[in-house]
A and B are shown apart, each in its own frame.
Chain A
Amino acid sequence: MTKISSEDIRKEVHRFWAILSGNLADKLEEMYSPTAIVFTGKAKRSESAKLMAARRSRQLPGPAHSSIAEVGAMDVQIVGTDVAIAAYTYSFNTQKVLANGSKVQINTTFGRATQIFQRGEDGALRIVHEHLSAAAPPALEKAGG
């Protein structure tokens, strides 16, 4: 099996955010191992990545409302032959439609991410664990359009 490189991991992280921003049509679910566990932004408990990815996919922005993600400095630790830990900061600006139909802009300025990747038997890198959090609560503002 090919050894994981930091560059492989950086590419996967950027692919993840491109999907989440609506800039890439790849399926978010396919980035995760079937047994992956995640802590999302405000969830009190961890949950199965399968459930979270299905929910996130439904909420992905349409072409008119693409989100903007910026990945900051990233540290990649390669552990053994098939596991790597990516830890980095990010900012993410997106729109959400509320139950009453109004739109809000959500700006996460001080996002922090840990994503642990493992290479599967098919050679693909998949996330087995993810912890997303923010050092400050996201700023909410009414969105136009």
Chain B
Amino acid sequence: MSKISSDDVRAEVKKFWDFLSRKLKSQFAEMYLSSATVFAADARRMELARLMLVRRERELLGPASFVAAKLGSIDVQPLGANLAIASYPFHLSITRTRAGGKRYQSEVPCGRATQVFQRDEKGVLRIIHEHMSSAEPVSSKELPPTDPPARV
């Protein structure tokens, strides 16, 4: 099997944000290995990716939600033939739908991401661990029920 290139990893990172912003649920879920673990930006504890996916699907991938991200420079650290780490800053604008239907618009101006990719048995790069955080407090505001999703 060929060695993982930095370009391969950068392409996967861009796919990840593209799937999320276009709300492509199944493609987005397939980015993670079944054993993957995740620190979400606002979570106090780590969780299994499959649990995080249920929440992201409910809050971020519904019709009234919105996700837009601008990525900074992506550093790639290859670790052997089947593993690589991507780390990068990002700016995120989201409209999230909470349980009960309330919607919140949030800005994450100084997001930071670490994503560890591993090649699966078919040779596909998938996330085995993810750590998202924010260097600055996230600003959030509740939207009136009738507002369409904000676009930034």
Give the interface of A toward B (CB within 8 A): 35, 37, 39, 42-46, 73, 75, 77, 79-80, 82-83, 85, 87-89, 110, 112, 114, 116, 118, 128-129, 131, 133-137
Contacts and interface: CB of A to CB of B under 8 A. Distances in A.
B135 A112 contact: no
B39 A87 contact: yes
B124 interface: no
A79 B128 contact: yes
B44 A89 contact: yes
A112 B129 contact: no
A45 B89 contact: yes
**Chain A CB within 10 A, most for which of B82, B118, B129, B134:** B129
A83 B114 contact: no
Interface of B: 35, 37, 39, 42-46, 72, 75, 77, 79-80, 82-83, 85, 87-89, 110, 112, 114, 116, 118, 128-129, 131, 133-137
A43 B46 CA distance: 21
B144 to A, nearest CB: 28
A133 B131 contact: yes
Contact of A135 (B44, B75, B128, B136): B44
B131 A131 contact: yes
A44 B110 CA distance: 6
Contact of A114 (B35, B79, B88, B114): B114
B83 A83 contact: yes
A133 B87 contact: no
B131 A77 contact: no
Nearest to A137: B137
A58 B131 CA distance: 27
B39 A133 contact: yes
A125 to B, nearest CB: 13
A8 B75 CA distance: 27
B35 to A, nearest CB: 7
B133 A129 contact: no
11 contacts: A37-B85, A39-B133, A44-B110, A45-B72, A46-B89, A83-B80, A87-B129, A112-B44, A129-B85, A133-B133, A134-B133
Contacts of A80: 80, 82-83
Contacts of B110: 44
Nearest to B87: A46
The 5 tightest CB contacts between A and B, nearest first, are A133-B133, A114-B131, A131-B114, A135-B44, A131-B131
Contact of B114 (A39, A44, A45, A88): A39
A75 B46 contact: yes
Contacts of A45: 72, 89, 112
Contacts of B134: 133
